[in-house]
Amino acid sequence: MAVMNLPNIEFFLILGRAVFLVFSFALAAVTFTGWRRATRQQSEQMMAQNVALLERLTDLVTRLDSMDQRVAQLAERLEQPAARGTSAPAGPQGYQIAIRLARSGASAEELVSGCGLTRAEAELVRRLHGPPLPELRQVS
**Burial of residue 28 (number of CB atoms within 10 Å: 0-12, 13-18, 19+):** exposed
Task: Say if residue 114 is in the same domain as residue 83.
Answer: no
Question: Could you tell me if 62 and 80 lie in one domain?
Answer: yes
Q: Examine the domain organization and report whether 16 and 82 are in the same domain.
A: yes
Q: Are residues 48 and 65 in the same domain?
A: yes
Is residue 24 located within the same domain as residue 68?
A: yes
If asked whether residues 27 and 79 sit together in one domain, one would say yes
Q: Which domain holds residue 49?
A: 11-87
Distance CA 49, CA 36 (A): 20
Q: Kindly state whether residues 97 and 76 are assigned to the same domain.
A: no
Residues 6+ apart with CB under 8 A from 111: 98, 101, 102, 117, 121, 122, 125, 126
Same domain, 62 and 106: no
> Quick one: 43 and 96 in the same domain?
no
CB 127, CB 98: distance < 8 Å: no
CA distance linking residue 106 with residue 1, whole number of Å = 142
Q: How far apart are CA 74 and CA 56, in angstroms?
A: 27
* Spatial separation of the C-alpha atoms in residues 74 and 77, rounded to whole Å: 5
Predicted TM-score (pTM) above 0.75: no
Tens of each residue's pLDDT in the chain, 140 residues: 555 566 789 999 999 999 999 999 999 999 999 999 999 999 999 999 999 999 999 999 999 999 999 999 998 888 876 555 554 555 677 788 889 899 998 888 888 888 888 899 999 999 988 887 665 455 54
Query: In total, how many domains does the chain have?
Result: 2
My answer on whether 41 and 103 are in the same domain is: no
